[in-house]
Amino acid sequence: MPEQLYGIRHHGPGSARAVVAALAEQRPDILLVEGPPEAEELLRWVADERLEPPVALLGYATDDPRRAGFWPFAVFSPEWQAIRWAVEHGVPVRFFDLPYAYRLAEPQPDAGAEPSDDPEPGDRPELNDGPNTNGRPEPSGGPGPSGGPDPIGGPEPGSAPGAEAGPEAEAGTDDPPPRRPVDPIAELAAAAGYDDPERWWEDVVEHRGAPAFTAIAEAMTAIRDGAPEDPDDLLREAHMRTVLRQVRRSHDNIAVVCGAWHVPALARKVPASADNALLKGRRKAKVTFTWVPWTYGRLASWQGYAAGVRSPGWYHHLFTSENEVVVRWLVAAAGVLREEGVPASSAHVIEAARLAETLATLRGRPLAGLTELTDASAAVLCEGDPLRLELIGRRLVVGERLGGVPDDMPAVPLARDLAAQQRTLRLKPEALERPLDLDLRRDNDLARSRLLHRLRMLGVPWGELDQRQRSTGTFREQWRLRWQPEFAVRLVEASAHGTTVVSAATAAVATAAREADSLAEVTALVEVCLLADLTDAYPPVLRALDTRAALDADVAHLMAAIPPLVRTLRYGDVRRSELGGLSSVTTGLLARVRAGLPAAVSALAEEAARELRGHLDAVHAAVNLLDDDPRERWLDTLASVADRDDLHGLLAGRLVRLLHDAGRLERAEVRRRMGLPLTAGVAPADGAAWVEGFLGGGGLLLVHDDALLSLVDEWLAAVPADSFTEVLPLLRRTFGSFAAGERRAIGDRVAHRGAAVDRRPTADLDHDRAAAVLPTLGILLGREIR
């Protein structure tokens, strides 16, 4: 009997059910599936229950793992269900698409481009279409239950996310492959009188049972007859026909599962010589394949995956729910809301179900689809709240489900070591973002922290530190964890550094230290060694630190390097890390800063003075964490510099404040020094800069010291009218940085002082004019004035 060609829509639950039913009726001797032939040996794993979709085949160039592609599968993917049926019934399965090795051997469009270190949706490793291809522009219209541009046929392997058909695009490539000009589903929907292709597909296929493969093949033939051909499709289909001819020699009962777009080409009578001529002379690259976990979020078409579906969670529900699809969906939606504390009763579910079915009837649809369920949920369950509806969309419509692969799945040693550590530390990868609060005094939490920091050094940011909570001076760390499928590619790339996480991270740090161009880069690596506990990386990092510090004469650069080094010294014992010779390096840097600071502070412009003030604050805060001897030497240096006459006001005021806070200057001396720049003979802008330098960072000193407050108040009152507009923005910048409570307290003190001052007779006072300034004065003082 001739082979049976089953043209399907990739990731379509209706197609998945139809294919399984057709295979059960045909009972073929062999099954051919659109997919990369190099991955055939991995098909046996489909029978393993531990291989839990969504999963993806990961293929990459053996000599350059950055060139990689994915072939994702969901439980509702027709190819996945066909392969499972064949494996369970002992039917041989072959992938017969164009080998991925051909794609990787082709010249790259951006061969000279540097790959991105942190790929965005448009430049992460490619989503190859193999089994999940899609090659048409996304149809217009609102969100629908099905997906993507053209789910029934697609581009060849190697397409980047968002790409359609065309040459394989390397990760980091900015030029998207060309798109096919035809959207077959849109063509068929328009012929049926639908303005929304997704609604047409849902009505005709998903809600009406198994599709008619013969009818779909005839429709595709009619569309392709009038459409321009894609050269990449012609190449792929030539290879498919070649494999089909080979299989016919040994099998009579053949089943073929492929994108419906390819069915007319496979049924067409084409001479073998023509296909051979098209394939002749093509080179192959060496490629490696494995299974990796995937997520429904990455299966969504809005993530840029051309063959993706807009609503993976909804399709999963359609495929796995045998009956009561509408009610079960609304029950799940109510459960999502209740988990967030939103009341959703059974009455809500009943009313929403009635509304969804009524909407389907009014709209002439056979059954309520996702559009009707969304409208009903918005009106009844969510009571018009868009945030609640968004929550349902994220949890159910997309459904961030993460697949799983067996522990003994072939993988690079680095990935296997990471999987072992994840099991040991009870740190399971998850698709949804979740917080992780670590107490570094606990051995397991400390080991988790080290693992997450090591992975970040390898370019696998599984965890992101919450910067709002981060403090290396405490025993706690707060992370946000979210596993991304592309991390599998990063692990393959990082395996060039080592076979375990710790050895690879150590080698990566050592390499980064040798290649660092600045002192700041090397200093950051010292903290990495501490946080990730990379003891063996300290020697090369410290050597690089010595070299960079010796070559860098810029005091600002040296000052910027000290705070992270001091934090590392101070909190190394918290993380139980060996710090080696870091103490001597830090002491040497601090000595160089003390020696170079007098020359660095002289005759600076405002921008340079502001930058140096920031470095002074950071170094001063860091030195306070050291022992008494280096701290006292640092204060001696500040005291000697503070007496100079050529300091910018920002620096002069800041040095006085630091010495005052350290107990080196009495209040009387502080008042004397403040009085010097606030005298009548000094330019108001210089006085304002001194006040900003002195008060920057907090105004409690003015709240508790009447004399200082009086100095500032009297100086401000004496500023000439023609200079006030120049001084006011500077003072607003200073006082605006204070906390609201500090500003209010200062305003109260000023008002109290004003009430105690002898007032002159007010017989000639224009009360109306005076009242006009009270609102502005109240804003400046932080209190209501009546």
Query: What's the pLDDT score for residue 590?
Result: 84
Instruction: Label residue 1 by pLDDT band (50, 70, 90).
Output: low
Query: What's the pLDDT score for residue 306?
Result: 58
Query: What's the pLDDT score for residue 151?
Result: 45
Query: What's the pLDDT score for residue 36?
Result: 94
Contacts 24+ apart (CB under 8 A), 697-704: 697/617, 697/657, 697/737, 698/738, 698/739, 698/742, 699/735, 699/738, 699/739, 699/742, 699/743, 699/745, 699/746, 700/742, 701/657, 701/660, 702/746, 702/749, 703/742, 703/745, 703/746, 703/749
- Local structure of residue 256 (DSSP, 8 states): E
198 φ/ψ angles, rounded to the nearest 5 degrees: -65, -40
How confident is the model over 61-96, as pLDDT tens digits?
Answer: 888 887 888 899 999 999 999 999 999 999 999 999
Taken in order 620, 621, 624, 630, is the CA torsion positive or negative?
negative
Asked if the model's pLDDT at residue 764 lies above 80, the reply is no
Asked if the model's pLDDT at residue 161 lies above 60, the reply is no
Give this prediction's pTM: 0.66
- Whole-angstrom Cα distance, residue 35 to residue 20? 18
Query: What's the pLDDT score for residue 63?
Result: 85
What is each CA distance from 397 to 13, 132, 310, 352, 400, in whole angstroms? 15, 20, 8, 17, 9
Instruction: Label residue 214 by pLDDT band (50, 70, 90).
Output: confident
Query: What's the pLDDT score for residue 226?
Result: 79
Query: What's the pLDDT score for residue 763?
Result: 55
Read off the pLDDT of each residue in 158-173 and give the average, rounded to a whole number: 32
- Whole-angstrom Cα distance, residue 361 to residue 166? 43
The token pair at 476 is 């706690």
Which of left, alpha, beta for 272 (phi over 0: left; psi -120 to 50: alpha)?
alpha
Taken in order 284, 288, 290, 296, is the CA torsion positive or negative?
negative
The letter for the amino acid at 73 is F
Asked if the model's pLDDT at residue 402 lies above 80, the reply is yes
User: Which H helix or E strand runs over 529?
Assistant: helix 519-532
Query: What's the pLDDT score for residue 208?
Result: 59
Instruction: Label residue 209 by pLDDT band (50, 70, 90).
Output: low
Query: What's the pLDDT score for residue 786?
Result: 63
Query: What's the pLDDT score for residue 572?
Result: 56
- Ranking 158-162, 337-341, 603-607, 633-637 by mean pLDDT, the lowest is 158-162
Q: Are strands 287-293 and 434-439 parallel, antiparallel or unpaired?
A: unpaired
Domain ranges of the chain: 4-312, 321-398, 413-494
* Maximum mean pLDDT: which of 50-59, 148-157, 534-543: 50-59
The b-or-e profile of 283-300 (16+ CB within 10 A means b, else e) is eebebbbbbbbbbbbbbb
Virtual torsion, Cα 30, 31, 37, 39, nearest 10 deg: -100
**Is the separation of the CB atoms in 654 and 613 below 8 Å?**
yes
Query: What's the pLDDT score for residue 578?
Result: 54
Instruction: Label residue 660 by pLDDT band (50, 70, 90).
Output: confident
Taken in order 568, 572, 578, 584, is the CA torsion positive or negative?
positive
The b-or-e profile of 578-602 (16+ CB within 10 A means b, else e) is ebeebeebbbebbebbbebbeebbe
**Is the separation of the CB atoms in 12 and 75 below 8 Å?**
no
The b-or-e profile of 370-385 (16+ CB within 10 A means b, else e) is bbbbbbbbbbbbbeee
Asked if the model's pLDDT at residue 566 lies above 90, the reply is no
Helix, strand, coil: what percent of the chain each, to 5? Answer: 55, 10, 35
Read off the pLDDT of each residue in 345-353 and give the average, rounded to a whole number: 93
- Percentage of the residues of the chain whose pLDDT score is greater than 90: 26
Asked if the model's pLDDT at residue 422 lies above 60, the reply is yes
**Is the separation of the CB atoms in 749 and 710 below 8 Å?**
no
Asked if the model's pLDDT at residue 97 lies above 90, the reply is yes
- Whole-angstrom Cα distance, residue 682 to residue 687? 7
- Whole-angstrom Cα distance, residue 411 to residue 272? 38
Least Cα distance to 230 among 142, 415, 70, 98 occurs for: 98
| Mean pLDDT score across all residues of the chain | 79
Q: What's the half-sphere exposure (Cβ side, CA atoms, 13 Å) at 394?
A: 11
Count of CB atoms situated within 10 Å of the CB of 553: 10
- Percentage of the residues of the chain whose pLDDT score is greater than 70: 79
Query: What's the pLDDT score for residue 671?
Result: 75
User: Which H helix or E strand runs over 293?
Assistant: strand 287-293
- Whole-angstrom Cα distance, residue 128 to residue 71? 5
Query: What's the pLDDT score for residue 673?
Result: 81
How confident is the model over 506-528, as pLDDT tens digits?
Answer: 999 999 988 888 887 888 888 88
Instruction: Label residue 108 by pLDDT band (50, 70, 90).
Output: low
Radius of gyration of the chain (CA): 35
Instruction: Label residue 773 by pLDDT band (50, 70, 90).
Output: confident
- Ranking 69-73, 113-117, 692-696 by mean pLDDT, the lowest is 113-117
Read off the pLDDT of each residue in 213-219 and give the average, rounded to a whole number: 85
Taken in order 398, 400, 401, 405, is the CA torsion positive or negative?
positive
Read off the pLDDT of each residue in 481-485 and give the average, rounded to a whole number: 89
Query: What's the pLDDT score for residue 536?
Result: 86
Instruction: Label residue 144 by pLDDT band (50, 70, 90).
Output: very low
- Whole-angstrom Cα distance, residue 345 to residue 342? 10
- Whole-angstrom Cα distance, residue 164 to residue 80? 22
Read off the pLDDT of each residue in 626-630 and give the average, rounded to a whole number: 80
The letter for the amino acid at 188 is L
- Local structure of residue 77 (DSSP, 8 states): -
Query: What's the pLDDT score for residue 210?
Result: 54
